[in-house]
Structure 1
């Protein structure tokens, strides 16, 4: 059956009345699981400086170990997202969701009690395993408890919650670190996981593909190997600030080669793990690319934002987190209502306009300096949140509505895979740009400091934090580096913001050229059918 026909047939299937009546309660419970997974990924950024301190305050983690505490989660999460979505379709989304939450909660407890950096990295990888089983399941279950005409609203709330959690992470992390030990940023997940598991057991219905077909172990294995190699190469290039090293480009090329082999194999397989013909649908392919690009730009910006507010402006972790409230509030206000704008102007116009506004908001960072009023940053974040709230919901709706309902887990996995890979590429590429421009800008000032060896100069030029650390060790002489370090970072931040803006403009072009003009959904009304059924009509 063609992809479009399959999607249409699946979308008209009736949802059981008992499930339909509690659909909003189910969504609320799913948002708990979504919140804890997304929040934890951003909350760690605030705790990095504390974890780097010697014990008992922290773990004495090196810069490389801190990076891998983040990257171990990302690598496992991105590598297994697609597989987790397939397992949800085959085994049951509720079962997979509960398993993922249990693993994530266990990893959170172990991370909170980690006694070394190596243990923290391993337990963060375990959390990434759990998160990979949670994220696709939430969106897949939404598609199976909401009728078609309500799916855009539910997905809008889902995407708004993602944006809210990204902004809430630094705020929650700042509050916790003011009163508790560094492990509290992980332990805070535990009560949320417990409540979510209990509520899910009673409220969330199970669903799966009624005709999953034969297993495709080779296809699944190729997808895991390809994604892991690709993401590892991206991460390594970002760490080294050099994508020309064989450890980066050779690994990335290997990942791309394996993923290409995966696509070719799936096209010829009589029982594919995922029907790659769905990418022939312009709504599907253009939407996943748009989401990948918007997260590329967003994660690159949030990467340098923490250093600007804390290292240059001197804000505390909590104050830094609170500055993200306008972004979070804009997401929560506009994402659930984006469907109304799409109904009026069409998906292409809304997504294109949202990407253009996103590009403008990134350029707003060019207004920021060492003493710029804080309200300027707040306006920039509110505009950014508003823009992204008009990109992610309609794009996600188009992805999910392009697939039959029984394949919702696979569609959600593709959506989240592009989101995660796009974010990883953004941090790596834009982080490398930030590092390269900063090193070039501060090099002359470091060379002018008497008695500073080339080795120390090289280490001090890695980041503003490294420069300020050396300046503190040098005493009064080192204070001459503080002003130039701030200026060099601001210059590097401006260059990175322009890079983010350029990526957003590419996303706008993709949306305008390939997304449909009219709304992605033109659903038949299911509510009158339900009303008629209740009245015996």
Structure 2
């Protein structure tokens, strides 16, 4: 491990890896702002919208462990550079297409590049910064990971004020290009001193496991839980997960030794990170559609309504290590997740007539919880492994984040879709087939000028479809709140106390 001696260079390196991290995080959050215009322009269904977002996170999450090991073995700087190049080229391709299926494939390729970027940014910090500065640097990293998501929303919202929905991908290309220049200029090379065998089998099994489970959850909303594709995908995902655990227990150089989860800090830190991003990206997916389709805001106006999130999250994340040092991860982590759950539950009570006061109250609770829980959980994970395995430690942390993101979008997206379709069915009954199918597929159809053919009934149909969508959003956020609240209880019961943090 080579520690950077010059404090000024450490600050520049931190800014550079922070920009690289923001490139990755904003590629999920920013797209949520563009989803309503994307759906209107391309005719994508609600399920296709879910896949446009989740094809990125599925590949991202499934390959993070392997990408972290590649960085440890072959050099973290080289893997970071390769990830930025692949990410930028795929985003450039997405900028030039309007076909939903092609877009899903290119987003998956962006996820491949992102898998090379995100774990490397954290492992650069944990291997290049002095031990006494790491918690503070990790706090900045966590703040960027959370606050950068919202900054991506504003950047996309600004672009969509003057350009088409696919201008979002121009933002991705620009961030990747600037980050690439910075990495080549200032980030030092580092790698493991000892090299074992690269666990390619484990990496592929992790990808199949994540992909199968997420595919099954997403398709269940449209096809039902008993459908052959849903059942097969879930079965393949679960079997691959079992095979992954079995393989990792037997192989001499595992990507992730499952026995690490016997350490309570490592296990509960991973659980906490997963649940934080389950909540955050499920929330982004549902709420940004609500703010545009139901409340009637433009993309920029919708993003501005989320401004309290980074204003609360970033400073809270920076103070969280000091609070955890005094109170312990168990208490801080449980309180953070509890606030997240309460924020989701509060915002899940919003109606068709949008009221900003209860929304802000829920958003502030949500942001405080995310900031409070994030840094201590990340520190617990990275401190569980030695310096030579910081790429894997970072990848575990990032896998938890991206698995949480993928599951949040899949589970809450599926809940939203299923509840919307059930609630909109009486509204569209008796309509001509094209209008009925379009409205059942997506609430975006309420913006279609073709609904004017329904005459006086059009206004009632649009209002009914929006009511149905509010029902779906409420059900999705309530499910998210319950899941996160259960996680808060588990952290409180199982996490180590202050003396072991």
Alignment TM-score > 0.5, same fold: yes
- Identify the residue that residue 111 of structure 1 maps to in structure 2: 94
1:273 shift after superposition: 3.2
Q: Which consecutive unaligned segments of at least 5 residues does structure 2 have?
A: none
Distance 2:255 2:359 in 1: 45
**Paired position in structure 2 for 1:516:** 496
Q: Which segment is superposed worse, 117-126 or 325-334? A: 117-126
- Higher-Rg member (1/2): 1
Q: Against the structure 1 CA distance between its residues 452 and 116, is the aligned structure 2 distance closer, same or farther, given a 3 Å change threshold?
A: closer
Q: Structure 2 vs 1, CA of residues 471 and 397 (structure 1 numbering), >3 Å: closer, same or farther?
A: same
1:332-351 matched pairs, under 5 angstroms: 332-351=314-333
What is the CA–CA distance in structure 2 between the aligned matches of 1:423 and 1:35, rounded to whole Å? 15
For 1:529, the equivalent position in structure 2 comes to none
The alpha carbon displacement at 1:296 in A equals 1.9
1:341: how far off? Answer: 0.8
Deviations 1:92-133 (A, max 9, x none): 111100110111111122221236444433322221111110
Of 213, 221, 228 in structure 1, the residue corresponding to residue 211 of structure 2 is 228
Residues 65 and 296 (structure 1 numbering): CA distance in 2 closer, same or farther, change over 3 Å? closer
Q: Deviations over 1:439-490 (max 9, x none)?
A: 333333333xxx4257854552344334564754413212122333333333
Name the structure 1 match of 2:36: 49
Distance in 2, matches of 1:108 and 1:519, equals 46
Give the Å deviation of 1:510. 1.6
Q: Is the 8 A contact 1:140 1:409 kept in 2?
A: yes
**In the superposition, relative to structure 1, how do residues 309 and 233 fare at CA in structure 2: closer, same or farther (>3 Å)?**
same
Task: Assess if the C-alpha contact under 8 Å between 1:79 and 1:228 holds in 2.
Answer: yes
How far 1:392 sits from its partner (Å)? Answer: 1.3
1:389 alignment counterpart: 371
Q: 1:414 aligns with which of 396, 417, 438?
A: 396
Alignment-derived partner of residue 170 in structure 1: 153
Partners of 2:246 and 2:294 in 1: how far apart?
49
- Match of 2:184? 201
For residue 314 of structure 1, report the CA deviation from its aligned partner: 0.9
Q: Secondary structure at the match of 2:455?
A: helix
Contact kept? 2:223, 2:230, Cα under 8 Å: no
The verdict on how the C-alpha distance between 1:109 and 1:492 changes in structure 2, with shifts beyond 3 A counting, is closer
Cα distance in 1 for partners of 2:431, 2:98 equals 35
Hey, what's the Cα distance between the residues in 1 that align with 2:500 and 2:134? 11
Q: Give, in whole Å, the separation in 1 of the partners of 2:22 and 2:456.
A: 46
- Counterpart-to-counterpart distance in 1, 2:464 and 2:39: 24
Maintained 8 Å contact 2:278/2:405 = yes
C-alpha distance in structure 1 between counterparts of 2:418 and 2:202, whole Å: 39
CA distance in 1, matches of 2:165, 2:74: 37
TM-aligned CA deviation for residue 21 of structure 1: 5.5
Aligned to 2:457: 477
What is the match of residue 438 of structure 1?
420
Query: Is residue 157 from structure 1 mapped to residue 144 from structure 2 by the alignment?
Result: no
1:343–1:519 contact (8 Å) kept in structure 2: no
Supply the distance in 2 between the matched residues of 1:337 and 1:437 (Cα, whole angstroms).
Answer: 39
State the match for 1:71 in structure 2: 54
Contact 2:266–2:384 under 8 Å retained in 1:
yes
Q: How do 1:275-294 and structure 2 match up within 5 A?
A: 275-294=257-276
Aligned residues of 1:91 and 1:208 also touching (Cα < 8 A): yes
Correspondence 1:499 to 2:486? no
Q: Deviations over 1:115-171 (max 9, x none)?
A: 644443332222111111001101111111222232221111111111112212222
Q: Check the 8 A contact 2:91/2:172 in 1, yes or no.
A: yes
Match of 2:405 among 418, 423, 444: 423
More displaced, 500-509 or 172-181?
Answer: 172-181
- Residues 59 and 480 (structure 1 numbering): CA distance in 2 closer, same or farther, change over 3 Å? closer
Alpha carbon RMSD of aligned pairs, Å? 2.4
Gaps of at least 5 residues in structure 1 are: 1-12, 522-537
**Distance in 2 between the 1:298 and 1:78 partners?**
16
Please give the secondary structure, in 2, of the residue aligned with 1:22.
Answer: helix
In structure 1, distance between residues paired with 2:27 and 2:271: 25
Distance 1:490 1:296 in 2: 20
The answer to whether residue 282 in structure 2 is matched with residue 305 in structure 1 is: no
What's the counterpart of residue 439 of structure 2? 460
CA distance in structure 2 between the aligned counterparts of 1:120 and 1:341, rounded to whole angstroms: 43
Equivalent in the alignment of 1:380: 362
More displaced, 488-497 or 329-338? 488-497
Q: Secondary structure at the match of 1:205?
A: coil
- The answer to whether the 8 A contact 2:4-2:128 is kept is no
- Cα separation, 1, equivalents of 2:296 and 2:318: 35
- Provide the rounded CA distance (Å) in 2 between the counterparts of 1:207 and 1:473: 64
For 1:31 and 1:148, locate their aligned partners in 2 and report how far apart those are by CA, in whole Å.
Answer: 19
TM-score (norm 2): 0.93
* Range moving further from structure 2, 489-498 or 89-98: 489-498
How far apart, in 2, do the equivalents of 1:328 and 1:163 lie? Answer: 7
Pairing 1:25–2:12 present: yes
Distance 1:113 1:487, change over 3 A: closer
Matched, 1:324 2:306: yes
Residue 242 of structure 1 contacts residue 432 of structure 1 at CA under 8 Å; is this kept in 2? no
Q: Deviations over 1:376-404 (max 9, x none)?
A: 31232122111110111111110111111
Cα separation, 1, equivalents of 2:415 and 2:346: 18
CA distance, structure 2, for counterparts of residue 465 and residue 195 of structure 1: 35
From 118, 122, 134, give the equivalent of 1:135: 118
What secondary structure does 1:341 align onto?
Answer: helix
Contact 1:29 1:200 in 2 (8 A): yes
